Amino acid sequence: MPAKKYCVTLSDEERQQLFPLTRKGVHSTRIVTRARILLLADEARAYENIAMYLHCSQSTVMRICKQYCTNGLSFALYERPRSGAPGKITGRFEATLTARACSTPPEGRARWTLRLLADKLVELGYLEELSHTAVGDLLAQNDLKPWQKKQWCIGALTTEFLWRMENILDLYELPYNPKRPVICFDERPCQLLDNVVTPLPMEPGKPIRQDYHYDRNGVCSLLIAFEPLRGSRFVQIRKQRTKKDYALFMNELAYTQYPQAEQLLLIQDNLNTHSPGSFYAAFPAQKPLR
C-alpha cells in the first residue's frame, strides 16, 4: 500500500461547502466523487480504503489529496481550463444549424437531409468540412429530426368552430346535477391479439418479456361513456361500431345507468354514426323521439 503523503484537514467552512455537493442538487459525477474523497480523507481514511469504497483508483485519491494540499479546495474540486485550440462547434453555429433545419427546404427538395444540411453550412462558410453524422448528433441534442413528420388535424378557427367550442366549454363548467349529467363519449377499434409463445413472468428488475409473434383473432370496438364529475364509467365491447351499435349503447346507458335523469348532456365527436338518425335506424318509430 502506498504511503499517505498528503494529509487532508478540512475547515468547518470547507465541510459545509462539500456536504451539500454529495447529498443534494445536480452536480457532475466527477465533482461529487472528488468531494467524497476529500471528506473521507479528512476522516483519516487510508487511500486504499477510500478507493475501494468509492470504486476508483488509489492514484486518483492521491492526486485529489495532493491538489487540495498544494493549491486548495477549489483547485481539487473543479477542472482547470485545458490548453489547445478552441472548439469549432460554437453556440452561434448550433443556433444557425437549428434554424436552418427548421426552415423551408431548398426548391426541389421535400425536406432537409443530414448531408444537405452539412453541405449548406460548409457552403455558408461556417466550417471547412462537416460530416452528416456530426449534424445528426447536434440535432439530436435539441430533439430535432428533419426526416420525420407527423400527421395532425389542423382545424380552422371558423365561426362554427368557435360556437361549438364555447358550447362545450360551457357544458364542462356546469356544476354537478344528477338530473342533467354531463357525459363524455368516445369509441375506438381494438385488435384481438393472442400470444403464440407464453410470456416470461416479471422478475425483480425485469418486466414481463413477450415474444414478438402473435395470433390476430379479429377486431372489436370499445365504446365508453365517462362522467367526469362523478368519476363513473360505462363500457361495452362490440363487434362493430355501426349506427345500430351506437344506438343500442346509448339506450342501455340512459335506461340502466341514468334512469332518473331528465336529460343526458352528451359530449362526443362528429362521427357520422353519432346522430339522431342512428336511433331511427335501430328502434321502432315511437322510441327514437323519446
Q: How many domains does the chain have?
A: 3
Q: Which of 63, 2, 69 is nearest to 30 (CA)?
A: 63
- 204 lies in some domain: no
Same-domain status, 164 and 282: yes
The reported pLDDT for the residue numbered 81 is 67
Both 165 and 137 in a single domain? no
Q: E strands along the chain, which residues?
A: 182-195, 214-227, 232-238, 265-267
Look at residue 249 in the predicted model and tell me its pLDDT: 96
Do 47 and 164 fall within a single domain? no
With 0-12 CB in 10 A as exposed, 13-18 as middle and 19+ as buried, what is 7? Answer: exposed
243 plus 167 within the same structural domain: yes
Whether residue 106 sits in one domain with residue 62? no
pLDDT of residue 269: 92
Quote the domain boundaries for residue 128: 91-141
Do 272 and 181 share a structural domain? Answer: yes
Are residues 186 and 269 in contact, defined by beta-carbon separation less than 8 angstroms?
Answer: yes
**Whether the Cβ atoms of residue 222 and residue 190 lie closer than 8 Å to each other:** yes
Question: pLDDT for 78-97, tens place per residue?
Answer: 877 666 666 677 777 888 88
pLDDT computed for residue 273 by the predictor: 93
- Domain assignment present for residue 18? The answer is yes
> Are 180 and 107 in a shared domain?
no
| 257 vs 251: CA distance, rounded Å | 10
Q: How far apart are CA 269 and CA 267, in angstroms?
A: 7
Shared domain check, 236 and 167:
yes
Quote the pLDDT of residue 48: 87
DSSP-derived 3-state class of residue 73: helix
For residues 16 and 60, membership in a common domain is answered with yes
Q: Does any domain span residue 203?
A: no
27 within a domain of the structure (yes/no):
yes
pLDDT in tens, the chain (290 residues): 445 578 888 888 888 888 888 887 777 888 889 889 999 988 888 888 888 888 888 888 999 998 888 888 888 888 776 666 666 777 778 888 888 888 888 888 888 899 999 998 888 888 888 888 988 888 888 788 777 778 877 777 888 888 888 999 999 999 999 999 999 999 999 999 999 999 998 888 889 998 888 899 999 999 999 999 999 999 999 999 999 999 999 999 999 999 999 999 999 998 999 999 999 999 988 888 87
Structural domain contains residue 253:
yes
274 and 163, same structural domain? yes
CA end-to-end span of the chain:
93
Taking the CB of residue 100, how many other CB atoms lie within 10 A of it? 17
Block residue for cell numbers 474540486:
77
DSSP code, position 174: S
Domain end call among 51, 77, 103: 77
State residue 1's pLDDT score: 45
Same domain (yes/no): 115, 165? no
